[in-house]
Structure formats: structure tokens, C-alpha cells
Amino acid sequence: MKYTIIENPEYSSHVQQYGQYLQIMNYAPVSVEGSKALMLEFFSYLENQGIWELPQQPKTIDLFMHHLRSRPNERFAGKGLSEGHRAKFWQAIRNFDQYLRHTGQGGLNMPERDIQNTPVNQRDIGQILTQDEIRQLYQACDTSNPVGIRDRAMLSLFYGCGLRRKEGLSLEVSDLKFSSNLIHVREGKFRKERYVPMGKQVKDDLYTYLLEGRPYLLKDNTQHTDAKVVVKSVLISQRGRTPTGETLGFRLKHLQDQTSNPVLQSMTIGLHILRHSIATHLLQQGMSLKRIAQFLGHAYLESTQVYTHMAHGKL
């Protein structure tokens, strides 16, 4: 992929950090590299205009989008950029603005959107729940019954530990290392193993679930379960089986509906949104992108000890 060369070290640093952020948000490698290339061209335009700091005037971005209308198409001589390609620039800049805001670096003063008919495969970074909305989901768990205790454990795994859906579903009881405050993720993406820290609240939620939730779900549903089947998974359904991702998605929607927040109730979210939300909250709390990438399983671990002092704030 051809990259535009820029001079401003601040711009270069932003591009690299932005790329790491998109990786954390689970963008495909080709999308990450494509977005970086688009931002490099945007920053090159700013340098040519004598702008050496992040623009705060909507007009600056408007002028860049207007510039793209007349910018020659390098692949097809004599033609300008297609509307779809210009939309990719808009999307990259908009996601860059969200990256700045999520990492506490202010943001761009975005103009009103001037690109219509954006291709359907172009997407924003995604819905991110606030810490208060996460707290409301926890409070919606009815811990007076085993299912509600299980729901709270579900939140602790997918939000508190940032697990992917497959990782959480395949997690076994033996993978919970309470003595060392770690969770052993054996089936991570690309078959990478890693250890994830259990903060105090996460540990308490999982320990309570193993004592007061999981055994009763198994016991109360023996009529649905083959006695010869040994269920090893941490999370189990009301039928005493390893749940599907769809089942947990329904439970998450149930928790949304149990809150008194109409905005939260109207959101379309899934387990991956919990993972994206913890990544964003850790960024807002000042954790480096590199450490968050390790926490989420985007890099090999060199030492599990680096995580033992990470604090998941008590909800």
C-alpha cells in the first residue's frame, strides 16, 4: 500500500496511535492500514496549507472534502475520485475524531456531513456505552436468583475482562485462577493464549456465581441435561448447557430493558460492545494503547505480572 509522506512528527504519531486504536476496536488489518493511508493524505493536505496543528474549524475539513472532488484519480487517468472513495475519507476523519475524544485529546470540530449515499460497508467505530450505562446494566441483574447471578458474571467476563464472545463461551471453570487473580484464555483469536487479570469486583462476581448460581442452574435443570454430559464451561444456560452467543445476547437485551434508561433500552448492542466499552474506558483512565492491546489479546504476552495491579473500578 502506497503511503503519503508527511513531515509533522505530531501528525505521524497520531496516525500510528489511531491505527493501534482501530486494532483495539477489532478492525481488520486491511481496514486499519487503509484508514491510516487516508489520514496521511489528509495530514499532507494540511501541511501543504500551512496547518501544523489539528484543525478546530469545520471549514478546514470542508475545504479538504471539496479538494477531493477535484483531486485526480491515480488509478484512472482523467477521472476524479468517486463518491464512494470520498466517503471513505470522511469516515476515516470521523473515526479519527472519535479516537481523539475517547482518548481524552479533545477532538475535531466536525462539519455537517456533505457526503450522501455512503456505502453500507462503511461503519463508525461503534456504539460505546458510558461507565454509567455499564453500571446500570450491573444494577439490573437480579442477584436474588441464579440466573441474575449468572448475568452479572456474564457482564464481568465480557466487560470487566474484555473477552471476545467465543473466548467467554469456551471458558472453563478450571481456567479461573482465583489464587493468582487471573483468567486463562486458552482459545483466543488465532489460537493465541493469554492471561487476563481479575479485578476485585470481577473476582467477587465470578466466585459468587460459582457458589450460588452455577450449581443451582445445573441442579434445577437435570431434566434437560444428559447425565453423561459433563458441562465444563463457566457460563451455562437455564437448561444446564453451554449457552450460545445468541442466548447471552438475549440476556443482555433483557438487562437493557430492566434499566430505567430509555436511551439505553433503545440501543442495539451485543457482547462485543461490552468489550469495546472497557477498552474505551481504560483509554479514558490513561492506560496506554499498547497495554490495552495486550489486555484484549491483540499481542503476545511477555509477562502476566504486568496485569496484576490493574484496577477495575468497583461498580
Given 101, 189, 253, 254, the catalytic residue: 189
Residue 155's closest CA among 279, 36, 273, 22?
273
Q: Any catalytic annotation for residue 189?
A: yes
Q: Any catalytic annotation for residue 164?
A: yes
Assess whether the region 9-102 and the region 131-307 belong to the same CATH fold. Answer: no
| C-alpha dihedral, 88 to 282 to 247 to 151, nearest 10° | -160
pLDDT for the residue 221: 56
Ordered by start, the domain boundaries in the chain are 9-102, 131-307
Give the largest Cα separation in the chain, rounded.
73
pLDDT for the residue 115: 43
pLDDT for the residue 96: 93
pLDDT for the residue 68: 87
Q: Any catalytic annotation for residue 214?
A: no
CATH class of 9-102: mainly alpha
Q: What is the CATH number of domain 131-307?
A: 1.10.443.10
Cell output for 191? 489460537
pLDDT for the residue 101: 87
**Strand pairing report for 182-185 and 194-197:** antiparallel
Q: What residues of the chain score a pLDDT lower than 50?
A: 1, 114-124, 225, 299-315
For the entire predicted model, the pTM comes to 0.67
Q: Any catalytic annotation for residue 3?
A: no
Given 164, 214, 241, 251, the catalytic residue: 164
Q: What whole-number distance in Å separates Cα of residue 132 and Cα of residue 71? A: 45
Q: Any catalytic annotation for residue 309?
A: no
